[in-house]
Structure 1
Amino acid sequence: MTQMTLCHKKNSRKELKSMKKKTILGLLAVLVVAVVIFLFVRGNSEKSDAVIVRTGVVKKDTIIENLSTTGTLIPNQTQSLMGTGNVLEVTVKVGDKVAKDNVLATYDNGLQLIAGIDGTITQVNIKAKQADTNAQQGKPSIQLDDLSTLKVKLELSNSEASAVTINQKAKITSGNQTFSGKVAEKDPVAQSTQSATGTTASLGAIVTFDQAPENLFAGFDADVDITTNTVENVLALPIEALTYNDKNEAIVYVVKDGKAKETKIDIGIQSDKLIEVKKGVTNGETVILSPNSDIKDNMNVTKE
């Protein structure tokens, strides 16, 4: 074999090895690109599958629990005067302001109707030279009310009555005016009333104003918010986050690593915006607000 032939064979082997090396490197490069593309597509796919949710944060806060109800504005004091016989004279009309001990009406039998309080005449159901038959009809001859200040009469349901106690603070709203007050009275027993729909029972209570209100009128309704409980510096979450599972257990969905985690919680008192959490979540955790039936445990989620 000649020298030239040997050199040619050696060069051929080198070229073959070089080609194989380039082929392997090329295949590796293609594989790396494929893996990168796969991971990118997979990541985008997971993102596209994620449900967009609104979120809130668990934090320490003060919670004020209120009972909201509606009552009727009534006079602070009232006097229903009843007479009998023929009326000789009536000295007042509706709207008149009278002082205690003023004579309001006189009868032919010597009876006189006398004001027992300072107040305003709100009913006159008798006329001079006519017989007074109001007692038979269950009506007062003359009604006298102290309208210098008012109070709110409540009719509480069974659940409301158990939450209301004397001296609880209250907020009274009538029209566009709001006043502070407190629970001043609570009846010891409930009263039953008959209606077309059946018999209902309610417990009477009185809320008084801290200061005499102006431009309010007896007989109108007033909205009353009674503070029934307050807790300070407790773990709280937005009430929007609270929902219940099929066992009627209180749960929230905590967002962890891009996933919704169904979490059972123990709850306490609540306001219109916050609810106390006694167990189940920790301070600073993120929870999903208003979770609908599409939200499931371990589902991919992303914040708005």
Structure 2
Amino acid sequence: MKKKTIFSIIALLAVVIIILLFVQGNSGKTNASKVRTGEVKTETIVETLSTTGTLIPNQTQSLMGTGNVIEVSVSVGDHVDKDKVLATYDNGLQLTAAFSGTITQVNIVAKQADTNAQQGKPSIQLDDLSTLKVQLSLTNSEASAVTIDQKANIISGNQTFSGKVAEKDPVALSTQSTAGTSTSLGAIVTFDQAPENLFSGFDVDVDITTNTAENVLALPIEALTYNSKNDPIVYLIKDGKAKETKITIGIQSDKLIEIKSGLKEGETVILSPSSDIKNNTAVTKE
């Protein structure tokens, strides 16, 4: 009986030791969520509006005639000088170039009547293709952000050209299509230098610089989230815990957002916080 008792005591002690070792081995472990982090820094933020426009000629002349055509002296693709006579009619009318440019449409034939006016087409179209500009159709929110003389980058394929907003229509126009009615405001972006290897009629991407804030507090935009009241917040890391912090924000780029209040330079914030992150959640950096 004594031997059995001793063996029982030894076995019990062994179990207790194993339990103690297991508890001790896990005592340093936590349920902290691993998070990616960023830092509040002083930055320069450039806010841009990205849109799409259509390349159009710098100048356009739609010439309209009436009567029987006696002579047509140009063809599509011809370059003509200012004041050149392009066509003559039997009533003495002459169609004359108002500027030097390229003939892009010829819709009349010699010894035939000109009926283009009834069809809403020009008899001859003259375009200045020596340089182009970009026609924009802005939405309501875009129109409020765009002003004359803002800098712009015009992107076509792997080419980027500098330019600026040169014109902005005073009134928006509505257009009817099979998809319904759409309303937009016209604007023009011009090139700083005449581009090469671009063609009128093609679409290009346009990035307009709408605002710049220099030497301001900023954080990575992926740190920004919103609470149930739709207030902008971030989660700071303090003493190993996430701290919900309400902030006031300013302009933003595709990577950074301006912080007007609520944060200090050098503070650490959680990037792309998951739904598991709440106020006072234990966290650790990845």
State the TM-score, normalizing by the size of structure 2.
0.91
Match of 1:240 in 2: 222
Match of 1:294 in 2: 276
- Partner Cα distance (1:199, 1:167) in 2: 30
Match of 1:219 in 2: 201
- Partner Cα distance (1:288, 1:233) in 2: 22
1:196 to partner: Cα distance: 2.0
Is 1:144 equivalent to 2:137 in the alignment?
no
- Partner Cα distance (1:207, 1:75) in 2: 12
Match of 2:86 in 1: 104
Match of 2:231 in 1: 249
1:294 to partner: Cα distance: 1.8
Match of 2:243 in 1: 261
Match of 1:196 in 2: 178
Stretches of structure 2 that go unaligned for 5 or more consecutive residues are 1-15
**Residue type at the aligned position of 2:260:** K
Out of 23, 26, 33, which is 1:41 matched to? 26
Out of 130, 139, 146, which is 2:112 matched to? 130
Is 1:60 equivalent to 2:45 in the alignment?
no
- Partner Cα distance (1:165, 1:176) in 2: 27
SS in 2 for 1:43: coil
**Residue type at the aligned position of 1:176:** N
1:119 to partner: Cα distance: 0.2
Match of 1:83 in 2: 65
Higher helix share: 1
Match of 1:276 in 2: 258
1:197 to partner: Cα distance: 2.7
- Aligned-residue CA RMSD in angstroms? 1.8
SS in 2 for 1:277: strand
SS in 2 for 1:246: coil
Residue identity over aligned pairs, in percent, reads 78
1:286 to partner: Cα distance: 0.9
Is 1:229 equivalent to 2:211 in the alignment?
yes
1:288 to partner: Cα distance: 1.0
- Partner Cα distance (2:178, 2:27) in 1: 66
Q: Deviations over 1:114-142 (max 9, x none)?
A: 11110000011111111110001111000
- Partner Cα distance (2:36, 2:24) in 1: 28
**Residue type at the aligned position of 1:183:** V
Is 1:184 equivalent to 2:166 in the alignment?
yes
1:40 to partner: Cα distance: 5.8
State the TM-score, normalizing by the size of structure 1.
0.85
1:37 to partner: Cα distance: 8.0
SS in 2 for 1:189: coil
**Residue type at the aligned position of 2:266:** G
